[in-house]
Structure 1
Amino acid sequence: MAHPTAANVEEELQAQVLIWNHLFQFVNSMSLKSVVELGIPDILHRNEGRPVSLSHLASLISIPPNRIDYLRRLMRMLIFKGCFANVSKEGEEENYALTPVSRLLVKDKDTGVLPLLFFELDPVMQSPWQSLSKWFHSDQPTAFAKAHGVDIFEMARKSESVNRMINEAMACDSRLVSKALVELHHDAFVGVKSLVDVGGGTGSLAETITKAFPSIKCAVLDLPHVVADAPKDVVVELVGGNMFEHVPPADAVLLKMVLHDWGDEDCVKILKQCKKAIPPKEKGGKVMILDMIVNSKTEDHKATETQLFLDMLMMVDVGGREREEHEWKKIFTEAGFTTYKATHGTGVLSLIEVYP
C-alpha cells in the first residue's frame, strides 16, 4: 500500500480549505443581516463620517459588556470582507467607519439594498435550497415549488406579505440600477417619445426615467396585484395586465431583469408581444433589455461569480436562467428580431437594444 506523499497531503489540505470556504459562505450573508438588524450601518452613518469606537458602538446598540468581544469578532469578519473599515491606529481601540458596501445598507438611502437582503434571507426564500437535491428527482418545475407547493408568482398573488416583500426588493434594486441606466446609457433614450416598462413592478424605474427625460411618456405593465401595491403618488401610468397576452404600444419597451425569470420558449412569447407593441426600426422602435450577459472568460472573478449565483437563484426560484450572448441571440432570432446591440458596464448587467 502506497504511503501518501507530502505533496498529496498538501493538496488534500488545500482542497479541505476550499470545501470549508464553500461550506461556510452562509456566514457572510447571515453576519451582514445581523449587523443590519443591530442598526450598525445607520449608527455609523448618523455619526457624520466620524469613526465609532468598539466600546461606544456596543453602548449604542445596548449589548452587555460580556458581548463586546463577540461584536469585535463580528466586525472583524465583515471588515475582512470589505463591508466596514477599521480606521484605528496600532495599539488603539478599534474604530469603525462605513465603506461603499455598507453605505448601501443604510436604512434611508435611496439606492440601498436592505429590502433585497431581507427578501433573499427570508425563510420563504431560503427553504427551497434545502429541497434542491430532491427537486432533481421530482416533477415540480422549480425547487421553490417543491418546497412550498406553489410557484413564487402564485404565492405572491395569494400572500399580501410575500407580494409586498417581493415588490420592495425589486423596487430597491430598480432604484440603484435606474440611476446607472439613465446616466450611463443616456444615448439609448434619444428620440424615444413613449416607453413601457414591462414587468416594471411598482414603477420606481419608470419614475427615474420620467424625471431624467420629461419628454418621454412612461407606463408600467405588471400583474394587477403588483401594480395595486404601488405608492399612491406614483407619477407614471400603471397598467395591470399580462405580458404574455398584450403589451401596450410605445416607441420602446423596457425589460429590466425580466427575461431571466423565464425559459427560452416563454422569453420568445414575451418578445413577440413586445415586437407587436413597437413601430418598425426605421421609425425608432426597439426593445431595451437590461439583464446579464454571462461571460465566464472575464478576468473579473467576482462579477462572474455573482452572475453564476444569480443563474442558480433563477433556476431554484422561478425556473429561469442567466444567458450567454449566443443564447440571447437565439431567442431574439426566434422572436423575429433582426439585429441587436449590447453595451456592457452597468455593474454585472448589460443594456441590449433589440430591433425589429
Structure 2
Amino acid sequence: MPIGDGMGPSIFSRPLSGPIPFLSLPSWYHLSSRFHVMEMKKENRSTESEDKARLAILELSHMMSVPMSLVAVIKMKVPEAIWEGGSNTPLTAPQILHRIRPQGGGDADNLQRILRMLTSYNIFAEHFSQTGERKYSLTHIGKTLVPDSQGLTYASFMLQHHQEELMRAWQLVGETVEDPTTEPFMKANGEGVLSYYNRREDARVLLGKSMQGMSIPFMRELLENYDGFHGVETVVDVGGNTGICLQMIMSKFPSVRNGINFDLPHSILSAPQIPGVTHVGGNAFDFVPEADAIFMKIEEVAEKGNCVVGMISLEKT
C-alpha cells in the first residue's frame, strides 16, 4: 500500500508490496479504534461544514494536478487510443501504452495512476475485468477530446490555456493588485501577448484550432435553432478569430453577402481567405466596424454563479 510522507501522495511513487514491517494487524486495529474514538469526540467541537471546508481546501491545493494530467494524456493521445474509430473499447493501462507507444517503453503503472485520478473527475470511466484488471473508456466529457469528423476537438482549447508562457504569467496575477500597471505576461516572458503571438506561428495556429474547436459545435446548434440573420446583408463578428463563424452564417443565410471578421491583430494573422469575408484588426473597446448586425459570443457569469458560455448579442445598428 502507498504510504504518505505528509507532503501528499505522488503519482510517481511506487506502491509498497508485501507486509509492512513496522505496522502489524493488532497495532493497526488498535490505532483504528483510537482514531474512531477521537472522531466521536471531535463531533462535539467541529461542525460538518468545517469538515467540508477542510476537505475542499485540500482538494483545491491539489487542483493543479487535474489540468496538468489532462494536458499530459492529450499530448500522449490517450483519448484517441481508447476511441480508435469510435469503438471506445475499455482498455487496460498496458494496452493503452502499447497503442500510444508501439515502439515499446513507457511505464504503465504511472499511466494508470493518471487515468485513475482523471476518472475521479469523470474524464474516463473505469471498468473491472473478471480477473480484476482495471480498464478505461471515455465518458461524454472524455469524448470531447477526440477529433470529430471535421477534425474538431476541445483538446486544443485545453492545450492553448496551459501553454508554458501563460502558466508563468498566472504565477504573477497577485502582483496586479499591488501594482495595477503590472502586466503578468510581459513580466514573466519579456514580451507582451501581441508580440508573442506575432512571433510564434505555432501559438497562433493552436489559438485558431482552440477557437474553432469551441465555436463550430456551438454555431451548429445556434444555426439550427436561430433565424435572426434573415434579411441581414452585413454582419460583423466581434472576436471572430479565423472567421469560421461568419462563413457558417453566410452559408446558411444567403442574404448575408458581406462579413467582417473583427478581432485583435494577432488573432487574424493566420485567418484564411473566405469569400465575402473581410478580416479587420482592431480593439472593440476603441471601435467596431459598421454593419447591419453585430455578432458576439460572450462568456457571462450569471448572478447565481452559473457560467453561460456562448451568449449571443445581435443588435441592429
State yes or no: 1:352 paired with 2:308: no
The alpha carbon displacement at 1:112 in A equals 0.9
Which of 273, 297, 302 aligns to 1:295? It is 302
Once the two structures are superposed, residues 105-147 of structure 1 have per-residue CA deviations (whole angstroms, 9 ceiling, x without a partner) of 1145544112211111111111112112223212425433443
Which of 86, 92, 96 aligns to 1:48? It is 86
Whether the 8 Å CA contact 2:232–2:293 is kept in 1: the answer is yes
Say if 1:248 and 1:348 are closer, same or farther in 2 by CA, change over 3 A: closer
State yes or no: 1:32 paired with 2:39: no
TM-score (norm 2): 0.73
Once the two structures are superposed, residues 165-199 of structure 1 have per-residue CA deviations (whole angstroms, 9 ceiling, x without a partner) of 33333233222322232224x13223323212123
Whether the 8 Å CA contact 1:135–1:146 is kept in 2: the answer is no
Question: 2: distance between equivalents of 1:255 and 1:348?
Answer: 11
Which of 262, 279, 284 aligns to 1:221? It is 262
Structure with a larger share of its residues in helix? 1
Question: 2: distance between equivalents of 1:216 and 1:172?
Answer: 24
Amino acid across the alignment from 1:75: L
Question: 1: distance between equivalents of 2:80 and 2:106?
Answer: 23
Once the two structures are superposed, residues 247-284 of structure 1 have per-residue CA deviations (whole angstroms, 9 ceiling, x without a partner) of 4432211123xxxxxxxxxxxxxxxxxxxxxxxxxxxx
- In the TM superposition, 1:276-287 aligns within 5 A as none
Amino acid across the alignment from 1:250: A
- In the TM superposition, 1:82-231 aligns within 5 A as 82-88=122-128, 91-107=131-147, 110=150, 111-140=152-181, 142-184=183-225, 186-217=226-257, 218-231=259-272
Q: How many positions carry a matched residue from both structures?
A: 271
Aligned to 2:279, what secondary structure does the other structure show? Answer: strand
Aligned to 1:239, what secondary structure does the other structure show? Answer: strand
Q: Percent identity?
A: 25
Larger radius of gyration: 2
2:6 corresponds to which residue? none
Whether the 8 Å CA contact 1:206–1:236 is kept in 2: the answer is no
The alpha carbon displacement at 1:162 in A equals 3.5
Question: 1: distance between equivalents of 2:107 and 2:198?
Answer: 43
The alpha carbon displacement at 1:8 in A equals 3.5
Question: 2: distance between equivalents of 1:66 and 1:160?
Answer: 31
Question: 2: distance between equivalents of 1:62 and 1:18?
Answer: 37
Amino acid across the alignment from 1:203: G
Say if 1:231 and 1:77 are closer, same or farther in 2 by CA, change over 3 A: same
1:19 corresponds to which residue? 57
Whether the 8 Å CA contact 2:185–2:193 is kept in 1: the answer is yes
The alpha carbon displacement at 1:220 in A equals 1.4
The alpha carbon displacement at 1:57 in A equals 1.7
Which of 278, 281, 285 aligns to 1:241? It is 281
2:107 corresponds to which residue? 67
Single out whichever of 137-146 and 48-57 deviates more from structure 2: 137-146
Amino acid across the alignment from 1:46: E
TM-score (norm 1): 0.66
Once the two structures are superposed, residues 41-80 of structure 1 have per-residue CA deviations (whole angstroms, 9 ceiling, x without a partner) of 1112225325142132232223878822322222222222
Question: 1: distance between equivalents of 2:190 and 2:111?
Answer: 39
Question: 2: distance between equivalents of 1:348 and 1:199?
Answer: 14
Say if 1:92 and 1:149 are closer, same or farther in 2 by CA, change over 3 A: same
Pairwise CA RMSD:
3.0
Whether the 8 Å CA contact 1:53–1:93 is kept in 2: the answer is no
Question: 2: distance between equivalents of 1:65 and 1:164?
Answer: 31
Aligned to 2:174, what secondary structure does the other structure show? Answer: helix
Say if 1:189 and 1:124 are closer, same or farther in 2 by CA, change over 3 A: same
Say if 1:296 and 1:24 are closer, same or farther in 2 by CA, change over 3 A: farther
The alpha carbon displacement at 1:354 in A equals 3.9
Whether the 8 Å CA contact 1:220–1:236 is kept in 2: the answer is no
Whether the 8 Å CA contact 2:115–2:124 is kept in 1: the answer is yes
Which of 233, 250, 271 aligns to 2:291? It is 250
The alpha carbon displacement at 1:25 in A equals 1.1
Question: 2: distance between equivalents of 1:212 and 1:87?
Answer: 43
Whether the 8 Å CA contact 2:293–2:315 is kept in 1: the answer is no
Once the two structures are superposed, residues 222-259 of structure 1 have per-residue CA deviations (whole angstroms, 9 ceiling, x without a partner) of 34554331235x33422333255654432211123xxx
Runs of 5+ unmatched residues, structure 1: 257-290, 299-303, 308-346
